[in-house]
Amino acid sequence: MRRAALALLVLAAAGCAVRIPEPTREMADGDETVLAELKAGRELYVNKCSGCHALHGVDRYDDARWTAQVDEMLRLKKVKLRGEERRLLLRYLTRANDPGWK
């Protein structure tokens, strides 16, 4: 967790405009279950992905490209995710990449 927080701090200090929004009720369409899943997906993104590389803003890719990117990381064994973790990660990335959630 400290490593991920440090990575986010370094990005912010460098002036990078990397958008990794906290999930909101609006983003979850008011559904508390969806909100919990989006928060879990964001936590996976921040904690798993920043361990190896700088995080990309969620708006960097569209839904299909995010899915391809995650699947490529899994195929190359660059990350270990259980099926449910993959689903939560992609749910966050594909919901948060909507430009309406800025």
Domains of the chain, by residue range, sit at 2-101
How confident is the chain (102 residues) per 10-residue block, as mean pLDDT? 56 64 95 98 95 92 96 95 96 91 65
Place of tokens 């400290």: 2
Residue 51: per-residue pLDDT: 87
Cα 38 from Cα 8, distance rounded (Å) = 18
> How much helix, strand and coil, in percent to the nearest 5, is found in the chain?
60, 0, 40
Structure tokens at 60: 């960097």
How many CA atoms lie less than 13 Å away from 3 in the CB half-sphere? 11
**Two structure tokens written together for 37:** 């899943």
3-class DSSP state of 35: helix
| CA dist., res. 95 & res. 21, Å (int) | 10
pLDDT at 99: 78
Q: How high is the pLDDT of residue 4?
A: 58
Structure tokens at 44: 């996976």
Q: What is the pTM of this model?
A: 0.81
Confidence (pLDDT) at 7: 54
